[in-house]
Amino acid sequence: MSDKIVASIITGGGRGIGRAIALRLARDTAVLLVGRTESDLQSTCQEIRQHGGVAEACVADVTASAAAERAVEMARVAGWTIHNLICNAGIGKSGPTESFPKETWRQIMAVNIEGSFNFIQACLPSLLAAQQGTICLLSSISGLKGYAYTAAYTTSKHALVGLARALAQEYGKRGLVVVPVCPGFVAGEMTDRTIRGVMKRRGISAEEATQLVVRANPQRRIIPPEEVAEMVAFVCSGRVPSLSGNPLILSGGE
Protein backbone atom coordinates (compact mmCIF):
# COMPACT_ATOMS: atom_id res chain seq x y z
CA MET A 1 0.00 0.00 0.00
CA SER A 2 1.26 3.48 -0.82
CA ASP A 3 1.65 6.26 1.73
CA LYS A 4 -1.43 7.98 0.32
CA ILE A 5 -4.70 8.14 2.20
CA VAL A 6 -6.72 4.96 1.70
CA ALA A 7 -10.17 5.66 0.32
CA SER A 8 -13.52 4.05 -0.44
CA ILE A 9 -15.84 5.13 -3.25
CA ILE A 10 -19.51 4.55 -2.47
CA THR A 11 -22.20 5.07 -5.09
CA GLY A 12 -25.64 6.02 -3.85
CA GLY A 13 -23.87 7.18 -0.72
CA GLY A 14 -26.22 9.95 0.36
CA ARG A 15 -29.13 8.00 1.77
CA GLY A 16 -30.37 4.62 2.95
CA ILE A 17 -27.94 1.71 2.77
CA GLY A 18 -25.33 3.87 1.05
CA ARG A 19 -25.38 6.42 3.83
CA ALA A 20 -25.03 3.70 6.47
CA ILE A 21 -22.09 2.21 4.57
CA ALA A 22 -20.44 5.62 4.26
CA LEU A 23 -20.76 6.34 7.97
CA ARG A 24 -19.33 2.92 8.82
CA LEU A 25 -16.43 2.90 6.35
CA ALA A 26 -15.49 6.45 7.34
CA ARG A 27 -14.15 4.96 10.58
CA ASP A 28 -11.51 3.14 8.53
CA THR A 29 -10.90 5.12 5.33
CA ALA A 30 -11.58 8.38 3.61
CA VAL A 31 -14.84 8.16 1.67
CA LEU A 32 -15.97 9.63 -1.63
CA LEU A 33 -19.76 9.62 -1.91
CA VAL A 34 -21.38 9.60 -5.33
CA GLY A 35 -25.03 10.37 -5.97
CA ARG A 36 -27.51 12.61 -7.74
CA THR A 37 -28.80 14.63 -4.77
CA GLU A 38 -26.20 17.06 -3.49
CA SER A 39 -28.04 17.87 -0.26
CA ASP A 40 -28.05 14.19 0.77
CA LEU A 41 -24.37 13.77 -0.05
CA GLN A 42 -23.35 16.92 1.80
CA SER A 43 -25.43 15.98 4.84
CA THR A 44 -23.66 12.63 5.06
CA CYS A 45 -20.25 14.20 4.51
CA GLN A 46 -20.93 16.75 7.23
CA GLU A 47 -21.86 14.03 9.73
CA ILE A 48 -18.70 12.11 8.88
CA ARG A 49 -16.53 15.19 9.33
CA GLN A 50 -18.18 16.00 12.64
CA HIS A 51 -16.98 12.62 13.87
CA GLY A 52 -13.44 13.18 12.66
CA GLY A 53 -13.70 11.40 9.33
CA VAL A 54 -12.63 12.47 5.86
CA ALA A 55 -15.33 12.71 3.19
CA GLU A 56 -15.98 14.34 -0.15
CA ALA A 57 -19.04 14.41 -2.39
CA CYS A 58 -19.30 13.85 -6.13
CA VAL A 59 -22.68 14.82 -7.57
CA ALA A 60 -23.17 12.56 -10.55
CA ASP A 61 -25.42 10.11 -12.36
CA VAL A 62 -23.82 6.66 -12.22
CA THR A 63 -25.21 5.76 -15.64
CA ALA A 64 -22.70 8.16 -17.25
CA SER A 65 -19.24 6.67 -17.67
CA ALA A 66 -17.79 10.19 -17.36
CA ALA A 67 -19.18 10.36 -13.82
CA ALA A 68 -17.12 7.36 -12.75
CA GLU A 69 -14.01 8.80 -14.35
CA ARG A 70 -14.61 12.11 -12.58
CA ALA A 71 -14.95 10.39 -9.19
CA VAL A 72 -11.67 8.54 -9.70
CA GLU A 73 -9.99 11.79 -10.73
CA MET A 74 -11.32 13.51 -7.60
CA ALA A 75 -9.73 10.80 -5.47
CA ARG A 76 -6.44 11.15 -7.35
CA VAL A 77 -6.34 14.93 -6.95
CA ALA A 78 -7.07 14.55 -3.22
CA GLY A 79 -4.05 12.24 -2.92
CA TRP A 80 -6.15 9.21 -2.08
CA THR A 81 -5.51 5.59 -3.00
CA ILE A 82 -8.74 3.79 -3.88
CA HIS A 83 -8.92 0.59 -1.88
CA ASN A 84 -12.66 -0.12 -1.82
CA LEU A 85 -15.39 0.36 -4.38
CA ILE A 86 -18.96 -0.07 -3.13
CA CYS A 87 -21.49 -0.17 -5.97
CA ASN A 88 -24.64 0.55 -4.02
CA ALA A 89 -26.63 2.88 -6.29
CA GLY A 90 -29.76 1.12 -7.44
CA ILE A 91 -33.42 1.53 -8.23
CA GLY A 92 -36.37 -0.82 -8.34
CA LYS A 93 -39.96 -0.82 -9.46
CA SER A 94 -42.47 -3.63 -9.35
CA GLY A 95 -45.45 -4.44 -11.51
CA PRO A 96 -46.97 -7.10 -13.78
CA THR A 97 -44.48 -8.10 -16.45
CA GLU A 98 -47.07 -8.02 -19.23
CA SER A 99 -47.61 -4.29 -18.71
CA PHE A 100 -44.24 -3.25 -17.29
CA PRO A 101 -43.00 -0.09 -19.07
CA LYS A 102 -40.04 -0.79 -21.34
CA GLU A 103 -38.46 2.54 -20.45
CA THR A 104 -38.58 1.64 -16.74
CA TRP A 105 -36.94 -1.71 -17.56
CA ARG A 106 -34.14 0.09 -19.40
CA GLN A 107 -33.69 2.59 -16.56
CA ILE A 108 -33.35 -0.17 -13.96
CA MET A 109 -30.73 -1.95 -16.08
CA ALA A 110 -28.88 1.31 -16.71
CA VAL A 111 -28.60 2.25 -13.03
CA ASN A 112 -28.20 -1.17 -11.43
CA ILE A 113 -25.97 -2.88 -13.99
CA GLU A 114 -24.37 -0.27 -16.23
CA GLY A 115 -23.82 2.10 -13.33
CA SER A 116 -21.89 -0.60 -11.47
CA PHE A 117 -19.90 -1.52 -14.58
CA ASN A 118 -18.96 2.13 -15.17
CA PHE A 119 -17.44 2.47 -11.72
CA ILE A 120 -15.77 -0.93 -11.79
CA GLN A 121 -14.08 -0.15 -15.10
CA ALA A 122 -12.99 3.29 -13.91
CA CYS A 123 -11.57 2.00 -10.61
CA LEU A 124 -9.85 -1.14 -11.89
CA PRO A 125 -6.60 0.54 -12.99
CA SER A 126 -6.03 1.96 -9.50
CA LEU A 127 -7.02 -1.26 -7.74
CA LEU A 128 -4.85 -3.40 -10.00
CA ALA A 129 -1.89 -1.06 -9.63
CA ALA A 130 -2.11 -1.51 -5.85
CA GLN A 131 -2.53 -5.29 -6.28
CA GLN A 132 -5.10 -5.30 -3.52
CA GLY A 133 -8.57 -3.97 -2.92
CA THR A 134 -12.23 -4.80 -2.59
CA ILE A 135 -15.25 -4.39 -4.82
CA CYS A 136 -18.63 -4.85 -3.11
CA LEU A 137 -21.68 -5.09 -5.32
CA LEU A 138 -24.93 -4.44 -3.47
CA SER A 139 -27.20 -7.09 -4.91
CA SER A 140 -30.19 -8.52 -3.05
CA ILE A 141 -31.84 -11.74 -2.03
CA SER A 142 -33.57 -11.09 -5.37
CA GLY A 143 -30.18 -11.76 -6.96
CA LEU A 144 -30.47 -15.38 -5.90
CA LYS A 145 -34.18 -16.18 -6.20
CA GLY A 146 -37.17 -14.90 -8.10
CA TYR A 147 -40.10 -12.86 -6.83
CA ALA A 148 -43.36 -12.17 -8.60
CA TYR A 149 -43.87 -8.68 -10.04
CA THR A 150 -40.13 -7.86 -9.87
CA ALA A 151 -38.82 -9.20 -13.18
CA ALA A 152 -36.68 -6.16 -13.96
CA TYR A 153 -35.26 -5.71 -10.47
CA THR A 154 -34.63 -9.44 -10.05
CA THR A 155 -32.89 -9.62 -13.42
CA SER A 156 -30.61 -6.72 -12.54
CA LYS A 157 -29.68 -8.16 -9.16
CA HIS A 158 -28.96 -11.61 -10.63
CA ALA A 159 -26.69 -9.84 -13.10
CA LEU A 160 -24.69 -8.26 -10.28
CA VAL A 161 -24.10 -11.65 -8.66
CA GLY A 162 -22.88 -13.01 -11.99
CA LEU A 163 -20.70 -9.97 -12.52
CA ALA A 164 -19.08 -10.39 -9.11
CA ARG A 165 -18.40 -14.07 -9.74
CA ALA A 166 -16.82 -13.33 -13.11
CA LEU A 167 -14.63 -10.55 -11.70
CA ALA A 168 -13.51 -12.80 -8.84
CA GLN A 169 -12.33 -15.35 -11.40
CA GLU A 170 -10.66 -12.75 -13.58
CA TYR A 171 -8.86 -10.72 -10.95
CA GLY A 172 -8.39 -12.96 -7.93
CA LYS A 173 -4.78 -13.68 -8.92
CA ARG A 174 -4.17 -9.94 -9.01
CA GLY A 175 -5.21 -9.29 -5.42
CA LEU A 176 -8.82 -8.18 -5.80
CA VAL A 177 -11.68 -9.43 -3.67
CA VAL A 178 -15.11 -9.06 -5.28
CA VAL A 179 -18.21 -9.86 -3.23
CA PRO A 180 -21.93 -9.53 -3.97
CA VAL A 181 -23.86 -8.65 -0.81
CA CYS A 182 -27.44 -9.93 -0.87
CA PRO A 183 -29.75 -8.57 1.84
CA GLY A 184 -33.44 -9.20 2.24
CA PHE A 185 -35.82 -6.34 2.96
CA VAL A 186 -33.87 -3.43 4.43
CA ALA A 187 -35.49 -0.46 6.15
CA GLY A 188 -35.64 2.46 3.74
CA GLU A 189 -37.36 3.94 0.73
CA MET A 190 -37.26 0.84 -1.45
CA THR A 191 -38.91 -1.35 1.17
CA ASP A 192 -41.46 1.40 1.78
CA ARG A 193 -42.30 1.30 -1.94
CA THR A 194 -42.61 -2.47 -1.77
CA ILE A 195 -45.09 -2.13 1.08
CA ARG A 196 -47.12 0.37 -0.90
CA GLY A 197 -47.10 -1.99 -3.89
CA VAL A 198 -48.39 -4.86 -1.74
CA MET A 199 -51.12 -2.58 -0.39
CA LYS A 200 -52.22 -1.67 -3.90
CA ARG A 201 -52.16 -5.18 -5.37
CA ARG A 202 -53.88 -6.84 -2.43
CA GLY A 203 -56.14 -4.04 -1.31
CA ILE A 204 -54.91 -4.23 2.27
CA SER A 205 -53.81 -1.71 4.90
CA ALA A 206 -50.27 -0.43 5.43
CA GLU A 207 -50.03 -2.40 8.66
CA GLU A 208 -51.11 -5.62 6.96
CA ALA A 209 -48.72 -5.09 4.07
CA THR A 210 -45.86 -4.33 6.44
CA GLN A 211 -46.49 -7.55 8.31
CA LEU A 212 -46.33 -9.53 5.07
CA VAL A 213 -42.94 -8.01 4.34
CA VAL A 214 -41.76 -8.61 7.90
CA ARG A 215 -42.79 -12.27 7.68
CA ALA A 216 -40.54 -12.74 4.65
CA ASN A 217 -37.71 -12.74 7.19
CA PRO A 218 -37.73 -15.78 9.52
CA GLN A 219 -36.61 -13.44 12.31
CA ARG A 220 -39.77 -11.40 11.68
CA ARG A 221 -37.94 -8.13 11.17
CA ILE A 222 -36.93 -5.64 8.51
CA ILE A 223 -33.14 -5.40 8.41
CA PRO A 224 -31.56 -2.13 9.61
CA PRO A 225 -29.19 -0.64 7.00
CA GLU A 226 -26.46 -0.58 9.64
CA GLU A 227 -26.30 -4.39 9.53
CA VAL A 228 -25.58 -4.28 5.80
CA ALA A 229 -22.94 -1.64 6.47
CA GLU A 230 -21.22 -3.85 9.02
CA MET A 231 -21.08 -6.71 6.52
CA VAL A 232 -19.59 -4.43 3.88
CA ALA A 233 -17.01 -3.17 6.38
CA PHE A 234 -16.10 -6.77 7.21
CA VAL A 235 -15.59 -7.59 3.54
CA CYS A 236 -13.51 -4.45 3.04
CA SER A 237 -11.32 -5.32 6.02
CA GLY A 238 -9.71 -8.00 3.86
CA ARG A 239 -9.58 -10.44 6.73
CA VAL A 240 -11.22 -13.23 4.72
CA PRO A 241 -10.19 -12.89 1.06
CA SER A 242 -11.66 -16.31 0.23
CA LEU A 243 -15.10 -14.66 0.38
CA SER A 244 -14.42 -13.42 -3.13
CA GLY A 245 -17.09 -14.42 -5.64
CA ASN A 246 -19.41 -15.78 -2.97
CA PRO A 247 -22.77 -14.09 -2.35
CA LEU A 248 -23.15 -12.97 1.25
CA ILE A 249 -26.79 -13.35 2.26
CA LEU A 250 -28.37 -11.22 4.98
CA SER A 251 -31.93 -12.40 5.25
CA GLY A 252 -32.38 -14.03 8.63
CA GLY A 253 -32.53 -17.44 6.95
CA GLU A 254 -34.97 -16.76 4.11
Q: What is the mean pLDDT of residues 133-160?
A: 97
Active site residue 153: yes
Q: Is residue 38 part of a domain?
A: yes
Kindly report, residue by residue over 62-85, the tens digit of the pLDDT.
Answer: 999 999 999 999 999 999 999 999
Mean pLDDT over 141-164 rounds to 97
Q: Please give the pLDDT value at position 63.
A: 96
Would you state the pLDDT for residue 72? 97
Per residue in 170-212, pLDDT (tens digit) is 999 999 999 999 999 999 999 999 999 899 999 999 999 999 9
In a domain, 213, yes or no: no
Q: Which domain holds residue 33?
A: 5-184+224-250
Q: What is the pLDDT of residue 3?
A: 64
pLDDT digits (tens, 9 = 90+) for 27-64: 999 999 999 999 999 999 999 999 999 999 999 999 99
The predicted model scores a pTM of 0.95
Q: Please tell me the distance from the alpha carbon of residue 125 to that of residue 202, in angstroms, as a whole number.
A: 49
Number of structural domains (the chain) is: 1
Identify whether 216 is part of a domain: no
Contacts of residues 34-39 at CB distance under 8 Å and 24 or more positions apart, as own/partner, are 34/9, 34/10, 34/58, 34/60, 34/62, 34/67, 34/71, 34/89, 34/119, 35/11, 35/59, 35/60, 35/89, 36/60, 36/61, 39/14
* pLDDT value at 157 more than 90: yes
User: Does 201 map to a domain?
Assistant: no
pLDDT digits (tens, 9 = 90+) for 10-32: 999 999 999 999 999 999 999 99
In a domain, 215, yes or no: no
Residue 56 lies in a domain: yes
Asked, for residue 207, whether it belongs to a domain, the answer is: no
Q: Is residue 151 part of a domain?
A: yes
Tell me the CATH number at 132: 3.40.50.720
